[in-house]
Structures are given as C-alpha cells and as structure tokens.
Structure 1
C-alpha cells in the first residue's frame, strides 16, 4: 500500500494551496474526510484528528459570524491537534484568519471549487481505494458483462489467450500478469493493475499488445469488483463430473471468500465461452435462480 500524501490530494483534485506549502509531504492515514462541527463549539472527546478536515459553507459561515476573539479561540483549539490538512470547498473567501493559524502551525490549507458533498464523496472514494489493504497475485483480471473475474493458473496454461478471446467478444481487460487486489470493505475485493502493466496483455508467440490501441478504449477497464475466482488447469481424464449442481467452492483473499471454479483445458474447448457461462450463471444465482432446481421441478412435474 503506497502512502497518500497531502501533495497527492492536491494533484489528484487540482487543489489550491493557501498555506503550508512546505508541509505537503504530510501523510493521510484515514479513509474518510471529517467536517468539524462539534469541535467548533468545544467538544473534542471523539475528534478524528488524523482525518482530512473539510470546511464547507456551513462551517465557514459559522466562523465568519463569530467575533474575532471567539473565532481565534475555536480555530486555535482545532489546529493544535495538527490534522493532515484543511480543505475549504466552493472557493470560499475571507480566510485570512484561517490562513494565519495554518501557517503558524504548519498545516496545509487547501481550497477547491467543488461543492462540499460532491468533494467529500470523491475524496472518500479515493482514500478508501488508496489506503485499502492489498496483495498482488499472479493471474489475469477481466470484466465479463459487468462481472469481475480473476483468472488463475500455472504459467503458460492460457490465461492471457483466454482474456484476449474475451476482449474480442466485447469484454474488458483489467490487469494481466500481476493483479492487485484491494480490500475496500469486509465483503468487497477490488481488482486492478499495478500501473506499469495498464492496458498491456502479453501473448505467447505474439508479444506485448496494448488492448486499448488495438481494440479501442472499451477493451480496458481500470478496476472491477472481483466476484469469481476461476482456475484454468490442464485436462485430466475422469477428473470432471457432470453433476446437476456442483458443491460450491471458495478461494479466500484477505479474509474474503470468493466463489471458485475450475475449468480444465483441452484442444477444441471454448474456454472463453465457459468463462462467459460461469459469469452469467453467477449473476443468475444472485437473482435467486438455479437451473438445477428448475430442472428437478420439471422432472417432478412429469412424474406427477
């Protein structure tokens, strides 16, 4: 997990730096921005001082209405906790008193033209992904009809070739070779690339291709929620069964269980088509549908 600095926020959201230019190297370690309301009236028992502090119209208007003594008192109480930075939204002005305190305490004071709620949503999303626990796994990540899939298997088994066929059918590549998995909630794994391999797919006998250049921008997606773990393995005689409904299996990543499927390879097998079928079958199961249950119902109706 790469540390997030205040400079990263400035660059990401094109923020104006009003104070604390020399302190942009300060790190942000918490995922949600905080709007200090209770703190301005003196309640600090649960003050999340390690969070980005967001000052919207409500907070700045309140400060403007205070007397100089009251304003200095309330701001002084907050800056002494040295939060990573303050961000003022909607390009609000009249901030000389705030700039003064931030300069004295060496706290970056930033400003954006964005509305408060919109900016908070954007910065929270960015921090949640950037600060999420992550691991790197060997494989290929694709988005098939809106469903994120991790393709795994031994080197040379055909993961990238399968991904290439899926791309030609209108699906999207997320990452090849090195897939970065981020745990953004107790139930959600996000799959993405490591930056260096973005848009690239390595095909044996062909070499490296840029899928966006070759097949258009729709061939690539920056990230996807991973809901299926598919392992490609070599064909083994008598190793597969034809049960109506296989017993569910799972792979665990960072304490999150992902449904696992094994697809065995053999010349002539439409592996990409099987991946599409697995994705669509998973989607139908989320809607409460089971082909095996419907089939058994038909059999029962026939017997009756």
Structure 2
C-alpha cells in the first residue's frame, strides 16, 4: 500500500508547524481528508483515523464555545486515535489554539497551519493525495492527448507507435509519455496516464534518436497527464483476416479493474495511421454523446428496404 509522510505534505503545501515535530515521519495512507464533526460529540464508529484531520473556522469556533474542561475532553478523544496530523486553515491565531498545541505536543501529532481557506485547501490536498496514493502500473506504449481525448497507443516494438505520436504532435495534439507510460487508478472508473519523470517530453524515434518535443514544437506539444479514455492497439495488417468495418460491438481492455474502450488499427503501407487515431478519438466522442455512425447507417438501410417493400 502506498503512503507518504506528514513531512511530504508540509513540503508540498508549505505548511507551518505549530506542534508535534516528533511526528513528522507519520504516514498518510488515505487519499481524502476529514473534518471532525460527530467526533466532537463522542461518535467514533466510522472515524477515519488514517486521514488528515482538517480544522476550519467552523470546528475551531465550536470548540471555543465549550468550557475549557469540555474542550480538552473532546479534543482528547480525537487525539487518542492518533491521526497522522491536524491542519488548521485560514491562518487562525495561535492564541486560540493553545489547547491543541498542548495535546499534539504530548502525543507527538503534528499540528499544522495554512493561510488557505478551508474548502480551497481541502480541494487541493484531496487532488494531491488521490494522485500520489493511487494504485499504479507501468505499461509499454505511448500516451497522447488528441483534441482533449486521452489515448494509450500500444503495439509490438517497431510497429510505429512513436512515429504515429510524432505525426499527431505535428497536427497540434500533445504527447504525454513515450515508451514507459504510468497508469494511475484515481477511481473505479478513472485511469490517469502520465510519464515516469525520466522520459518527460522525450520521444524516441528509430533512426533519429531521442527528441524533446517541447523544445522542437513548443510547450503546447506536451502535457503532464491525461485521463485515458481509449486504448488503441496498432497491429500489422494480415491479408487473410476479415475486417468488419460495420461491427458496432464495443471491446474493452482492463487496467486495474477499470474497463477502457479498445480499438485495433491494422497497419498497411499508405494508411494514414495518425488520421485513423484522430478519427477514432472523434468517433468515441460522438458515441459518448449518444451517436453511432454504424447505427445510423443500418437505420438508413432498413428504411430503404421498407420503402422498396411498400412500393411492391
């Protein structure tokens, strides 16, 4: 199971440490933060103790309205579960946090502070944790973004994946990763494609070598990540194989239990492979809107047959 430390969170968001310095090596293993609410009244049945605990103005104001003894009692109950850390938003005054500082120092739980508003900070840290802690795998292929549509190009070595990506880049689309594509599972329906850091912006072309697409074609030729919505496999054309162009039965490839629509494009001299990838991307978008060219074609055929029957 992936995890990061509280120190990693401090470094990423430039958080101020108010207490609990000895706990900066505590691990964070859950991707969403939590705002204590029911826990203040003693209900802990579903308390997510492995998550970062966020205290905004609402939570701190509520605690201030309690007597000193009651406030210590309620904070003490949460602290005893040893969450990774507490984060106070809105840059709230230290004087009003003395009781928190005491508890956190005693238990070695980092108490952190940010100037950001609660909702904004939660959105930023949730996105960061979701990506950082996501289950991931690495696959051989090329990841591109074609007109806003994330595509994973796969195929055997030398089939022409990188060359196809180059043509797409020259047509105004973007490279995400070449050769080593990192896939992250952000949700049961979402796969994010990105690079491994080492190959960022690089495209390997046979007979040419490595090129930096951002340096040659500009910053618009590259982006760090994209949601994968199409899995396209490039294969060699087989003369005796039947290619049914009217087949509307969808096919899928599964990555980490997430199904991605799969298309196979067979290569043949003279075929505009990049153009076929563009067409596949645009056709997928139309299907998403509820339109199918094949279905409309079949409807026209049926309508024509009916008209002919009526004439007779």
TM-score above 0.5: yes
Q: How does 1:131-280 map to 2 (within 5 A)?
A: 131-280=133-282
After superposition, give the CA deviation of every residue in 1:142-172 in whole Å (9 maximum; x if it has no partner).
1111111110011111111111111111111
Structure 1 residue aligned with 2:78: 78
After superposition, give the CA deviation of every residue in 1:229-273 in whole Å (9 maximum; x if it has no partner).
111112221325243234322111111221111111222211100
For 2:82 and 2:7, how far apart are their aligned partners in 1? 17
Q: How does 1:26-65 map to 2 (within 5 A)?
A: 26-65=26-65
For 1:15 and 1:211, how far apart are their aligned partners in 2? 36
For 1:166 and 1:19, how far apart are their aligned partners in 2? 52
Structure 1 residue aligned with 2:25: 25
Structure 1 residue aligned with 2:293: 291
For 2:66 and 2:26, how far apart are their aligned partners in 1? 30
SS in 2 for 1:267: coil
Cα distance, 1:4 vs. partner? Answer: 1.5
For 1:64 and 1:208, how far apart are their aligned partners in 2? 61
Aligned residues: CA RMSD: 1.5
1:126 and 2:139 correspond: no
TM-score (norm 1): 0.95
For 1:81 and 1:302, how far apart are their aligned partners in 2? 71
For 1:211 and 1:281, how far apart are their aligned partners in 2? 27
After superposition, give the CA deviation of every residue in 1:83-115 in whole Å (9 maximum; x if it has no partner).
000000010112122112111110111111111
Consecutive aligned runs of 4 or more in structure 1 exceeding 4 Å deviation: none
For 2:225 and 2:293, how far apart are their aligned partners in 1? 30
Cα distance, 1:2 vs. partner? Answer: 4.7
Which of 107, 110, 113 aligns to 2:112? It is 110
Cα distance, 1:38 vs. partner? Answer: 1.3
SS in 2 for 1:54: strand
Q: Structure 1: 5+ residue runs without aligned partners? A: none
Whether the 8 Å CA contact 2:28–2:50 is kept in 1: the answer is yes
Whether the 8 Å CA contact 2:154–2:234 is kept in 1: the answer is yes
Whether the 8 Å CA contact 2:154–2:233 is kept in 1: the answer is yes
Structure 2 residue aligned with 1:14: 14
CA spacing shift, 1:240–1:11, aligned 2, 3 Å:
farther
For 1:5 and 1:183, how far apart are their aligned partners in 2? 21
After superposition, give the CA deviation of every residue in 1:4-25 in whole Å (9 maximum; x if it has no partner).
1112211221211112223222
13-22 vs 280-289, which moves further: 13-22
For 2:168 and 2:2, how far apart are their aligned partners in 1? 31
For 2:218 and 2:266, how far apart are their aligned partners in 1? 31
How many pairs are equivalent?
304
Q: Structure 2: 5+ residue runs without aligned partners? A: 308-312
Whether the 8 Å CA contact 2:55–2:89 is kept in 1: the answer is yes
